[in-house]
Structure formats: structure tokens, C-alpha cells
Amino acid sequence: RKEVEQDPGPFNVPEGATVAFNCTYSNSASQSFFWYRQDCRKEPKLLMSVYSSGNEDGRFTAQLNRASQYISLLIRDSKLSDSATYLCVVNMDSSASKIIFGSGTRLSIRP
């Protein structure tokens, strides 16, 4: 089993739709969680950290479910500009070498 797993997609949804994807992680002791966005042939950019209480930033909501060992990202009222690959990142312990990136979920928003 991979340490961090994501559905590769692609998720193809119409503009204005709500879309959600999950990311599962293997280590129950994992300490911190992030979502990054990566556009084609560009570097990853931090989208949001994921807190135990969940957090929201505009149209984006991130949730952590420690019992089931997954994090989720919800995008409401999707825009064409949301088309990208979304990378789930899990810090398995306190060391930098255990910052594990998922392979990403591709999202394509159609007009």
C-alpha cells in the first residue's frame, strides 16, 4: 500500500459544479497535512494546510478524518482556472524526509 494515495482522475466537471476528492494515508501518527495545486509543467503551489478542525478558504474547504486516515478537498462553484493537478501532502512524522506527496488528482473544468 502506498503511504499517500490519491485517485489520479481526471475529474471532468462543468463550470459552477462542486467537486470533492480524497486522499488516504497509511500512518496513523501522521502530523500535518496540506493540499498543493500544480499546473501543467509548473511548480507545486501551497493551496492550504489542513487542520484537525477543518478549514475553509473562499470556495475551498479541507477536512481531516483521522479515524479513517484521509483528508479531503472540496471546491465549490468551480472555475475554469481551477483546472490543475491537486497534490495531497502528508508529514508522516517530525522529519522532512517523511513529507510524502501523493501522485495528484487531475481536475479539468469544462465551460
Partner 1 sequence: DTGVSQDPRHKITKRGQNVTFRCDPISEHNRLYWYRQTLGQGPEFLTYFQNEAQLEKSRLLSDRFSAERPKGSFSTLEIQRTEQGDSAMYLCASSLARESYEQYFGPGTRLTVT
CB neighbours of residue 21 within 10 Å: 19
60 contacts: CB under 8 Å, gap ≥ 6: 35, 47, 48, 73, 74, 75, 76
> Is residue 32 part of the contact set for partner 1 (CB under 8 A)?
yes
CB neighbours of residue 26 within 10 Å: 14
Count of residues engaged in binding partner 1, rule: CB under 8 A = 22
> Is residue 59 part of the contact set for partner 1 (CB under 8 A)?
no
Shortest CB 10 distance to partner 1, Å: 12
Stretch of residues binding partner 1 (CB under 8 A), selected from 10-18, 62-70, 74-82, 90-98? 90-98
> Is residue 34 part of the contact set for partner 1 (CB under 8 A)?
yes
